[in-house]
Amino acid sequence: FDRGSLSGKRVFITAGPTREALDPVRYISNHSSGKMGYALAEAAVDAGAKVTLISGPVNLPAPQRCERIMVESAEQMLAASLEHIDECDIFIASAAVADFRPVAVAEHKLKKGTEEIMELRLVKNPDIVASVAARQNKPFTVGFAAETRDVVHYAQDKLSRKNLDLIIANDVSRSDIGFNSDDNAVTVVSHDDVQQLPLSSKRQLASKLIEIIAAHQEN
Ligand code: PMT
């Protein structure tokens, strides 16, 4: 019987948003639902992989036969991603990681005060997928690119700047695909190829993407 294209492979997948705390009750985040990353985890399990899903806060149940680690912030997602990275064959970064976090987390709930304008100071978060790809013994590393224009151009830039092996670009200016929708349409960009995958459910797309990733990482 078919043992699956990722039989015996260890696959780590980041999914969902991160939350960056401002104070005990407030945070900065985004509209990622985790659907894309969870669909990839299911497809990778179906392809025979041993999957670790590193997930930000989402409303989805853990996929079956998959280890799930729940995190909140980008720093926690980085720590969870690196903890067993030496065992990882393929790293897929589908999470929408907050690029910045508040410089300090207030110990108590911030008070309104009398000012009409409030300013926040933010500091850049670590880049998780770039940290993985910078390792000497790096896994086959796949990123996503959330773009609103010049999708392929910016994806190619991220592919080389972050030292990735493959990048999956989606146009997040459309409301029928990308963040929080059930469907997606993507462009898979490698160092020598650009492949369009037309609109379909995230589940169907995930199976196709896992096939493509499996084929690439064999070479
Ligand atoms: O969760 P869903 O609702 O299903 O939506 C899916 C999605 C739109 C979130 C997903 O398909 C997607 O595009 N994920 C990447 C979102 C993103 O943050 O893209 P980016 O272009 O800002 O980042 C590029 C890559 O670097 C991504 O692989 C991202 O995970 C990674 N990154 C970014 C910043 C950071 N600090 N660490 C990272 O690892």
| CB of 56 shorter than 6 A to ligand 1 | no
pLDDT of residue 3: 72
* Closest residue CA from atom 10 of ligand 1: 94
Calculated CA dihedral for residues 107, 58, 213, 164, nearest 10 degrees: -20
pLDDT of residue 144: 98
* Probe target for ligand 1 pocket from 12, 94, 151, 197, with the most ligand atoms within 8 Å of CB: 94
Residue showing tokens 């987390």 = 105
* Probe target for ligand 1 pocket from 144, 176, 177, 203, with the most ligand atoms within 8 Å of CB: 144
pLDDT of residue 189: 97
| CB of 91 shorter than 6 A to ligand 1 | no
| CB of 95 shorter than 6 A to ligand 1 | yes
pLDDT in tens, the chain (219 residues): 557 899 999 999 999 999 999 999 999 999 999 999 999 999 999 999 999 999 999 999 999 999 999 999 999 999 999 999 999 999 999 999 999 999 999 999 998 888 899 899 999 999 999 999 999 999 999 999 999 999 999 999 999 999 999 999 999 998 899 999 999 999 999 999 999 999 999 999 999 999 999 999 986
| CB of 96 shorter than 6 A to ligand 1 | yes
Summarize pLDDT for 14-24 with one digit per residue, the tens.
999 999 999 99
Distance 120 CA to ligand 1 centre (A): 23
| CB of 180 shorter than 6 A to ligand 1 | yes
Kindly give the number of the ligand 1 atom that is closest to the alpha carbon of 145.
Answer: 21
Summarize pLDDT for 155-205 with one digit per residue, the tens.
999 999 999 999 999 999 988 999 999 999 999 999 999 999 999 999 999
Going by C-alpha positions, the residue among 29, 57, 55 that lies closest to residue 42 is 55
Going by C-alpha positions, the residue among 105, 115, 120, 15 that lies closest to residue 61 is 15
Distance 93 CA to ligand 1 centre (A): 7
DSSP secondary structure letter of residue 63: P
pLDDT of residue 2: 57
pLDDT of residue 113: 84
Neighbours of 116 (CB within 10 A): 5
What residue ranges define each of the domains in the chain, with the CATH number in brackets? 10-100+117-218 (3.40.50.10300)
Give the whole-angstrom CA distance, residue 205 versus residue 198. Answer: 9
Distance 10 CA to ligand 1 centre (A): 21
Task: Assess whether 170 carries a catalytic annotation.
Answer: no
